[in-house]
A = this chain, B = another copy of it.
Amino acid sequence: MEEDKPVFEGEVWVNADKISFVGTDNEAAKANIYKHFDREIDCKKNLLMPGFKNAHTHSAMTLMRSLADDLPTQKWLNDQIFPVEAHMTGEDIYSLTKLAILEYLTSGITSIFDMYLTPDTIARACREAGMRCVQVGCVNNFSQSLELVERMYNELNTEDDPLNSYFMGIHAEYTCSPELLTKFSDLVHKYKAPVFTHIAETKAETDGCIERYGMSPVKYLSSMGLFDFGGGGYHLVHVNEEDMQILKSRNMYVVTNPGSNVKLASGIAPISDYLRHGIPVALGTDGPASNNCLDFFREMFLVTGLAKLRCDDASAIDANEVLKMATVNGAHAMGLNDCDTLTLGKQADIIMIDLDQPNMQPINNICKNIVYSGSKQNIKMTMIAGVIRYEDGRFNIGVDPHDLYLEAENIKTRIRHELGR
């Protein structure tokens, strides 16, 4: 994923949580380093690459997977999702986040950009399971306060907790009053912090904001000073040319969520336009209530497929660009500048792609194989911070997956009972 550095045959060495060597066999033989490894893995000509960065998700919504599909969006949200969320505890969210982590690992995802209700229990789940997690604030009128966001910003951005970090953020324009946004803007300026938020996901949202404030959501939130230190937006489907100029001038990231956008009929984001404006695009699954899975192969195919449809052009957004979104751009959006490529000194967030499968044969072009033919079945190994968390179908996150499946069923049953359903 480094510019001008194509796929090559060689070795990658890992020392503790970092990459200590990347090079050809010849270079490795020449490297005057005492080669004593705890473990050597013969990759058998499979592909090593940086792990995927899931730049937008709500992990604990695994609970609502397949709970309420094929419904009109407002009915889905108001009748199904919100009532269930109101009954979820911090400990529920802890277990359900771990369930999501299992799924991330099967898809080669090594970092998540997670927005949900109880940041402390999410951070604990990720710390224990070894998932790299950047959380983002979810300030809104109803459930998450400025105080919590400020506390988490300070608590999770420390060197003692290398797997966890935290960005400031709000849920969305339409769930925050102008007064709340003004106070939030003060907080953002106090810390000179970038801000991420759901924005311009649906036409109704964009139209509503224009009706309320005479400005698009991007322009409105920018006018409140929320993007004075950069950041980015999740979804960004319904935008205009002026919005693009704002995003560009604020050095913001677009995090696109194509699986969610099709399933909820939100629309097709103008990805080719963003790229033409030089606005970096990262990829996210969104939460499992709206997608419903956490599969980066689906997202990678969709981001280019939908762009091809939207542009009426089969050459729109080639596979290399998609892989860059899924790895390098995601890492940079999430502030993980040491997790973007397989380079000496970077974090060892590495996946192995199994090329010894029929969907990868013949090998005309490895990058295109991954984006257009790849599936979770091709994830042979997922390593985060130098620790293998998934290998040949087996998990290593400190808990038996079946305990997490059972716990999810128990939470489901309990909440159904509480809701009298």
Give chain A's interface residues, CB within 8 Å of chain B: 62-67, 69-73, 76, 99-100, 102-103, 106, 259, 262-265, 267-268, 288, 291-295, 297-298, 301, 304-306, 308-309, 311-319, 356-359, 361-365, 368-369, 372-377, 401-402, 404-405, 408-409, 411-412
Contacts and interface: CB of A to CB of B under 8 A. Distances in A.
A73 B361 CA distance: 23
A28 B65 CA distance: 33
A262 B103 CA distance: 26
Contact of A375 (B295, B309, B356): B295
A293 B262 contact: no
7 contacts: A65-B362, A100-B358, A259-B301, A292-B368, A294-B359, A362-B411, A362-B412
A76 B314 CA distance: 9
Contacts of A64: 364
Contact of A373 (B76, B288, B309): B288
Q: Closest 6 interchain pairs by CB?
A: A262-B305, A102-B358, A66-B368, A293-B373, A70-B318, A103-B358
Contact of A365 (B66, B103, B361): B66
A409 B362 CA distance: 6
A407 to B, nearest CB: 9
Nearest to A321: B70
B373 A65 contact: yes
A337 to B, nearest CB: 28
The CB with the most chain B CB atoms within 10 A, among A69, A319, A362, A365, is that of A362
A295 B295 CA distance: 14
A103 B359 contact: yes
A171 to B, nearest CB: 20
The CB with the most chain B CB atoms within 10 A, among A356, A375, A408, is that of A375
A4 B315 CA distance: 45
Q: Is the interface of A mostly helix, strand, loop or mixed?
A: helix
A65 B357 CA distance: 13
Contacts of A267: 309
The CB with the most chain B CB atoms within 10 A, among A356, A377, A402, is that of A377
A215 B267 CA distance: 33
A66 B373 contact: yes
A369 B314 contact: no
A199 to B, nearest CB: 20
B377 A375 contact: yes
Nearest to A298: B301
B359 A106 contact: yes
A362 B313 contact: no
Nearest to A355: B405
A362 B67 CA distance: 10
Contacts of A72: 313-315
A129 to B, nearest CB: 12
A306 B262 CA distance: 6
Given A376-B376, A377-B376, A359 B67 contact: no
The CB with the most chain B CB atoms within 10 A, among A64, A365, A401, A402, is that of A365
Contacts of A374: 293
Contacts of A297: 375
